[in-house]
């Protein structure tokens, strides 16, 4: 068998010419924190030498002039979710390349909730066929789901044995985010999950964490003792500071769902905590955000705008994730032996990307893809996941007022807002007509529902929500964390029923419906979560969808994220479930009373 790195040695020694030489650039050395004018010799997919590499130029060597630009290692997103972008892995990869991300970390857990671990494997393989390199993390959230608060897992949820098998996949470097509820309290501890974690640690793999609002030091220490190594659910300086002190790598989010850099970064920039304990990530980003605003490149720009030195921000997006996932022999810096993943930028502060090289080939030039990536033919088993066997009617969404109610009632209302996944409540007064409580769209209060499309129960939970601002019509989705059910927000029961039926008909996706007619939609028929559309068509439909939602009154910056995260998830506070209104804190869950007792 040929030695994979022997060709690199021969180029570095001058025995053979390089395939490609990059000259005229300033190499950003994230290993030393220095910048130096250097050449780069590339053989195949990897770097053979850095420095004065003129000796490696042969008759057939391609020479690329960087024209004085900074040469940055390909960016690594240490925590993200392909399914949250609603794109298939091919379109996801194309968008990642446009913004300089050549490696991402994902377990594709959302797909596995619907269709088991084979779905994670499928989208991993699809991504492996692109220039973007996946670091796979075993997706335990498709196993845990909402078990910790008493809800059963989906029928196709992987078993611990399935997850244990995925630990042996060659792409697997760790375990995806694990929250505390199934490991800390003895009365609900999942020892099989703990066993999986210990096995992963014994194999030299890492374990991501997921815990919001974790201020109790007893809980934090127990969580770290279990083997948890990082947390991305950090939203303020206090959490950032203390969790880092207790041994957690802090992964600061900057995406369409959460923008935490401004609140968390002062621990480094003002208090002097060492940046080696921190990384940047996107976590959750919508298609329009991913294409237009950016991803890890945007996180770097925002960090710099908030007082961070550009070199440090780049290190938190390259070498530090590579070292954490123990792949720094392959990526994370521009050095011999690493993949030739190079981002050509005009300035480090503005991080304006001119060209992106991945695996030794230029894929982006002048801010545009050099060649398109082609979607595969998707298998039939990824389709047909709307497990609903009836037509929904307006009566399914009516809320009967309490006995003896007058013309109005007080209700507990879910509140959603920009920039946060937390959903506090507010007490609102709503009208009663013919014995049924009505939404009040003129005052910003809509009806919200969750319809089971996974378990086959036919359950429909209904409550009220403030923040979407839908004046008329209905918006909806089939993508939501841990649930993947249909969630709709509407100004009327009639449009809610029509939108539910149209969503089922299109095999899942996002919808804008008004007066019974669909005005825009983004179908996501792959597990009801991802589009099978090519790049241009997906984004055309995404922009049309958001325009329609805006016209219906929604002013939220990224309303798709709000629609996903009002669902039942282990983040505080009020949530919608198939059983109605729910309430969640770090250590408490209950189905909540919709009506507020004025006498209490």
Determine the 3-state secondary structure of 183 from DSSP.
coil
- Check residue 587 and give its pLDDT: 64
3-state secondary structure 420-485: CCCECEEEEEEEEECCEECCEHHHCEEEEEEECCCCCCCCEEEEEEECCCCCCCEEEECCCCCCCC
The number of residues in the chain equals 600
The CA distance from 374 to 130, in Å, is 9
Please state at what angle helix 237-245 crosses helix 217-225, rounded to 10 degrees.
Answer: 50
At a CB cut-off of 8 Å and minimum separation 6, what does 221 contact? 246
582-596 burial code (b ≥16 CB/10 A, e <16): bbbebeebeebebbb
Kindly report, residue by residue over 284-341, the tens digit of the pLDDT: 999 999 999 999 999 999 999 999 999 999 999 999 999 999 999 999 999 999 999 9
The CA distance from 42 to 49, in Å, is 7
- Check residue 184 and give its pLDDT: 87
Q: How far is CA 396 from CA 177, 276, 477, 479, 577, in A?
A: 36, 53, 18, 21, 15
Kindly report, residue by residue over 124-153, the tens digit of the pLDDT: 999 999 999 999 999 999 998 887 777 888
Please, are residues 143 and 158 in contact by the beta-carbon 8 Å criterion?
A: yes
181 falls in which pLDDT band (50, 70, 90)?
confident
Please, are residues 102 and 302 in contact by the beta-carbon 8 Å criterion?
A: no
Please, are residues 414 and 349 in contact by the beta-carbon 8 Å criterion?
A: no
Give the start-end residues of each E strand in 44-100.
46-51, 62-65, 70-73, 75-77
- Check residue 137 and give its pLDDT: 98
Residue 256 has pLDDT above 80, yes or no: yes
Among 463, 464, 460, 437, which Cα is nearest to 450's?
460
The CA distance from 68 to 24, in Å, is 5
- Check residue 572 and give its pLDDT: 85
Residue 600 has pLDDT above 70, yes or no: no
What is the distance, to the nearest Å, from the Cα of residue 288 to the centroid of all Cα atoms in its chain? 14
Among 349, 344, 320, which Cα is nearest to 332's?
320
Kindly report, residue by residue over 233-249, the tens digit of the pLDDT: 999 999 999 999 999 99
The CA distance from 105 to 92, in Å, is 13
Q: How far is CA 586 from CA 210, 260, 428, 563, 571, in A?
A: 12, 19, 25, 21, 7
Please, are residues 162 and 115 in contact by the beta-carbon 8 Å criterion?
A: no
Among 318, 295, 307, which Cα is nearest to 267's?
307
CA angle at 454 for the pair 451 and 459, rounded to the nearest 5°: 35
For residue 520, list its beta bridge partners: 512
60, with CB counted inside 10 A (0-12, 13-18, 19+), is exposed
Neighbours of 170 (CB within 10 A): 6
Alpha helices in 55-149 (DSSP H): 89-98, 109-115, 117-128, 141-144
Percent of the chain with pLDDT over 90: 90
Among 419, 83, 80, 81, which Cα is nearest to 258's?
419
Kindly report, residue by residue over 520-536, the tens digit of the pLDDT: 999 999 999 999 999 99
Kindly report, residue by residue over 113-123, the tens digit of the pLDDT: 999 999 999 99
The token pair that represents 311 in the structure block: 């070199």
At a CB cut-off of 8 Å and minimum separation 6, what does 433 contact? none
The CA distance from 540 to 531, in Å, is 12
Neighbours of 566 (CB within 10 A): 25
Please, are residues 373 and 93 in contact by the beta-carbon 8 Å criterion?
A: yes
159 falls in which pLDDT band (50, 70, 90)?
very high
CA dihedral (72, 73, 74, 79) in degrees, to 10, reads -110
Kindly report, residue by residue over 39-95, the tens digit of the pLDDT: 999 999 999 999 999 999 999 999 999 999 999 999 999 999 999 999 999 999 999
1 falls in which pLDDT band (50, 70, 90)?
low
The token pair that represents 370 in the structure block: 């050099």
The token pair that represents 493 in the structure block: 């029961």
CA dihedral (43, 46, 52, 55) in degrees, to 10, reads -10
The CA distance from 508 to 513, in Å, is 14
597, with CB counted inside 10 A (0-12, 13-18, 19+), is exposed
Least confident of 86-90, 260-264, 481-485: 481-485
Please, are residues 256 and 557 in contact by the beta-carbon 8 Å criterion?
A: yes
pTM above 0.85, yes or no: yes
- Domains delineated in the chain: 74-332 (3.20.20.140), 381-591 (no CATH)
Among 374, 390, 388, 375, which Cα is nearest to 526's?
375
């Amino acid at each position: 068998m040929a030695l994979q790195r022997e060709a690199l040695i021969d180029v570095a020694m001058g025995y053979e010419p390089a395939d490609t030489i990059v000259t005229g650039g300033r190499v950003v050395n994230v290993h030393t924190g220095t910048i130096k004018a250097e050449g780069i010799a590339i053989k195949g997919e990897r770097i053979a030498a850095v420095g004065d590499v003129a000796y490696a130029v042969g008759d057939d060597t391609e020479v690329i002039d960087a024209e004085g630009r900074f040469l940055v290692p390909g960016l690594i997103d240490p925590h993200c979710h392909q399914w949250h972008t609603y794109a298939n892995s091919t379109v996801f990869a194309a968008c990642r390349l446009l913004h300089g991300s050549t490696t991402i970390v994902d377990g594709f857990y959302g797909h596995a909730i619907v269709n088991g671990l084979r779905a994670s494997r499928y989208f991993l393989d699809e991504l492996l066929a692109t220039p973007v390199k996946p670091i796979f993390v075993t997706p335990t959230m498709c196993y845990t789901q909402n078990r910790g608060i008493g809800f059963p897992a989906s029928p196709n949820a992987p078993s611990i044995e399935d997850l244990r098998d995925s630990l042996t996949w060659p792409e697997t470097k760790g375990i995806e985010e694990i929250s505390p509820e199934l490991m800390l309290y003895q009365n609900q501890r999942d020892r099989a999950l703990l066993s999986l974690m210990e096995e992963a640690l014994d194999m030299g793999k890492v374990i991501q964490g997921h815990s919001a609002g974790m201020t109790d030091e007893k809980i934090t220490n127990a969580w770290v003792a279990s083997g948890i190594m990082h947390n991305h659910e950090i939203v303020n300086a206090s959490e950032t500071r203390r969790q880092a002190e207790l041994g957690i790598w802090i992964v600061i989010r900057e995406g369409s769902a959460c923008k935490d850099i401004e609140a968390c970064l002062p621990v480094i920039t003002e208090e002097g905590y060492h940046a080696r304990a921190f990384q940047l990530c996107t976590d959750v980003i919508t298609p329009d955000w991913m294409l237009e605003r950016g991803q890890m490149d945007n996180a770097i720009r925002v960090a710099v705008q908030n007082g961070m030195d550009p070199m440090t921000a780049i290190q938190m997006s390259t070498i530090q994730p590579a070292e954490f996932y123990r792949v720094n022999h392959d990526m994370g810096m521009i050095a011999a032996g690493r993949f030739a993943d190079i981002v050509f930028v005009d300035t480090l502060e503005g991080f304006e990307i001119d060209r992106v090289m991945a695996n030794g080939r230029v894929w982006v030039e002048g801010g545009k893809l050099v060649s398109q990536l082609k979607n595969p033919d998707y298998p039939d088993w990824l389709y047909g996941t709307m497990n609903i066997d009836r037509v929904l009617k307006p009566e399914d969404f009516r809320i009967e007022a309490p006995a003896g109610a007058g013309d109005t009632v007080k209700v507990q209302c879910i509140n959603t807002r920009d920039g946060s996944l937390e959903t506090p409540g507010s007490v609102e007064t709503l009208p009663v007509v013919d014995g049924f409580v009505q939404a009040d769209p003129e005052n910003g209060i809509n009806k919200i529902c969750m319809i089971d499309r996974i378990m086959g129960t036919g359950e429909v939970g209904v409550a009220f929500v403030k923040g979407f601002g839908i004046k008329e019509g209905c918006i909806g989705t089939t993508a939501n964390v841990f649930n993947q059910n249909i969630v709709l927000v509407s100004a009327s029961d009639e449009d809610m029923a029509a939108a539910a039926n149209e969503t089922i008909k299109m095999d899942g996706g996002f919808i804008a419906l008004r007066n019974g007619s669909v005005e825009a939609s983004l179908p996501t028929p792959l597990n009801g979560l991802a589009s099978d559309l090519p790049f241009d068509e997906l984004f055309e439909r995404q922009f049309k969808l958001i325009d329609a939602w805006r016209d219906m009154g929604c002013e939220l910056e990224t309303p798709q994220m709000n629609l996903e995260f009002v669902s039942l998830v282990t983040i505080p506070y009020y949530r919608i479930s198939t059983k109605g209104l729910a309430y969640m804190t770090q250590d408490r869950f209950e189905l909540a009373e919709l009506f507020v007792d004025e006498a209490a």
